[in-house]
Amino acid sequence: MGNKSSSVLLLPAHPANGSMSMFRYWQLLAGQIRGEDSYAPRSFFFDVDESLLQRGSKMRRAWTRGIHYPCSILRQPKCDLYHVLDHSWADLLRWIPSGAKTVVTVHDLIPLRFAGELKQKQVERFRKRVSYLRKADALIAVSEHTKNEIIDILSIAPEKIHVVPNGVKPAKYDVTCKPLGGEEVLRVGSLGSVLKRKNLEILPAAIEQYLEKGGRKMELVRAGAYVSKQLAEEFQSILGSNFIELGRVSSSELEEFYKDIDVLVVPSLYEGFGLPLLEAMARGVPVIASNTTSLPEVGGDAVMYVNPHGANDIAQALLKIQDSDVHLRMMRNGLKRSQNYSWRATLEGNYAVYDKVLGRS
């Protein structure tokens, strides 16, 4: 087992990068560290308030990545093990003192499989950064799907990769009796970015078919990046004022988002994990999700899966979910499934990897 004589430094994505998902990953993980733990990892950054998480200018980001962050690491007292929490910062491994052990968490390799809106230069820059993953002593993949992608795309030996799933933070309110919304309106949630792989363009046709087949009135609530003007107009032409965009939300606002919806729809074409599925299930919100990549691995038998290319599939799923008995059954199954995941278990999984890397398992 590990011991506190082994110093561990957590290296999160720099706040100047503006990644809310990576910020939350770091905060939720670090929040589970206890005084009695076999390791006492410390974070490179002190606690950063969400309001300070801003994507800096191109020049500032380049300076942060290429000069400020690496030089700051070199000025730190040497540690036994360095854990880079975001694979897109794997190039930090160039600056780790010799003799120290290194671990990197890989969340996905999406740009190498699904470039989407990224330009070729951006893809190549990402490819160069993740090429440093080969230098790590061990990799942590957040799902079996991501592990298989690392093996397939980067040709890294399977024995070097350890699967440690993400956790989920329980709701702060009682979700055991969360009812389906009023008889007249189905409140549908959509969360996250508007990248092409999120496949949001399928939703207008799916909603139209749902309504044509006798579905309830619908309220579609978006949390995260604003959709394009064209897509917003499509939603508004179908739903009118019942299409609501919240924009980027804080952690407390995210709780309210889940509290106010009846179902979360995730039509994504590609995910490395799929944390919104877990978050929704832990809050008594049934989930309709794509039957692709890591999503079935995370949702198990508690999620209603659809063909992400089939608007009719999504419409049929929405029709099923408006049945109160189906909604209640999925709510219970989701709550049960979500109990298999916790951030404490994620942290302990990381500790087990540290033990192996440091030769103490």
Inside any domain, residue 2: no
Q: For the segment 281-295, what is each residue's pLDDT rounded down to a tens digit?
A: 999 999 999 999 999
Q: Stretch 318-346: mean pLDDT, rounded? A: 95
Q: Stretch 156-178: mean pLDDT, rounded? A: 88
* Same domain as 285, residue 223: yes
* Same domain as 22, residue 128: yes
149 or 181: whose pLDDT is higher? Answer: 149
- Of 294, 337, 291, nearest to 314 by C-alpha is 291
Question: Which CATH number is 257's domain given?
Answer: 3.40.50.2000
Inside any domain, residue 176: no
Residue 351 has pLDDT above 70, yes or no: yes
- Of 319, 312, 308, nearest to 201 by C-alpha is 308
* Count of structural domains, the chain: 2
| Percent of all residues in the chain with a pLDDT value above 90, rounded to a whole number | 78
Q: For the segment 75-120, what is each residue's pLDDT rounded down to a tens digit?
A: 989 999 999 999 999 999 999 999 999 999 999 999 999 888 889 9
Residue 122 has pLDDT above 70, yes or no: yes
* Same domain as 194, residue 99: no
Strand order in the sheet with 185-192: 243-245, 217-224, 185-192, 263-266, 287-290, 304-306
Residues in the chain: 361
Inside any domain, residue 190: yes
* Same domain as 82, residue 207: no
* Same domain as 200, residue 59: no
What residues make up the domain containing 59? 8-167+342-357
| Percent of all residues in the chain with a pLDDT value above 70, rounded to a whole number | 93
Residue 147, H or E segment: helix 144-154
* Same domain as 107, residue 159: yes
Q: For the segment 195-219, what is each residue's pLDDT rounded down to a tens digit?
A: 999 999 999 999 999 999 999 999 9
Distance in angstroms (rounded) separating the CA atoms of residues 299 and 135: 32
Question: Residue 51 has what pLDDT?
Answer: 59
Q: For the segment 31-65, what is each residue's pLDDT rounded down to a tens digit?
A: 999 999 999 999 988 666 665 556 667 787 788 88
* Same domain as 196, residue 135: no
* Same domain as 213, residue 148: no
Inside any domain, residue 94: yes
